[in-house]
Amino acid sequence: MKTILYLIRHGSTLLNEGNRFRGKSDVPLSEQGREQAKVVHSLLKNKKIEKIITSPRPRAIETAQILAEGHINSEGNVIQPEIANGLDSVYYGAWEGKTQEEVAALEPEQFDLFKNHISQLEMGGEHLSDLASRCIKELVKVCEENKGKELIAGNGKFQVLVMNFLPNILDLVGKETKAW
């Protein structure tokens, strides 16, 4: 039986909608974010989801809870999202809560790295390659431990990194992937 891994970004927050850096800020979903999660739920409602793991951020947990509604695993249990600290967001430090325009004015060189050379940027002491490694390790572990269908509720930054590293990951674990 092959494992199917769905990478789902959390719904929108007021910080997203204001084009602000979120990182480890504990912001909940906005009403728009809840509606987005419900749309994704409707797309996945007929899938046989076995397990949902999520970042510990409230916006990701709330998204995962909406996605879990009505899903029963193969053991007959209602699926409860599980926290996976390896999927946590990067810490943006002083950038958290600020708009991109504010950061560009305060730290133009660092902001240029963020926009054009993100792999060279360190945020809050965590280099983005460390973030990618942490997230990838968590995803590989979950895939190896579970048969059936997986649903990952994470956040945008880790998804960008995972997709950048995905060809190498698939070579390492010998898996195939499909995106839709």
| Model pLDDT for residues 105-147, shown as the tens digit of each residue | 999 998 888 888 776 776 666 777 777 788 888 888 888 888 6
The CATH number linked to 17 is 3.40.50.1240
Q: Is 127 annotated as a binding residue?
A: no
Q: Is 128 annotated as a binding residue?
A: no
Range of the domain at 68: 4-173
Which DSSP category does 72 fall into? B
Q: Is 13 annotated as a binding residue?
A: yes
pLDDT value, residue 153: 62
Q: Is 41 annotated as a binding residue?
A: no
138 within some domain? yes
Around Cβ 62, how many Cβ atoms within 10 Å?
A: 21
Enumerate the β-bridge partners of residue 24: none
Q: Is 12 annotated as a binding residue?
A: yes
In terms of Cα–Cα distance, which of 162, 153, 15 is closest to 81? 153
179 within some domain? no
User: Tokens representing 84?
Assistant: 């996976």
144 within some domain? yes
13 within some domain? yes
Q: Is 67 annotated as a binding residue?
A: no
Number of structural domains (the chain) is 1
178 within some domain? no
pTM: 0.80
Q: What confidence tens digit (pLDDT) does each residue in 139-169 have?
A: 888 888 886 666 666 665 655 665 565 555 5
pLDDT value, residue 59: 92
In terms of Cα–Cα distance, which of 40, 83, 42 is closest to 60? 83
Enumerate the β-bridge partners of residue 54: 83, 153
Greatest CA span in the chain, whole angstroms?
A: 54
180 within some domain? no
pLDDT value, residue 159: 59
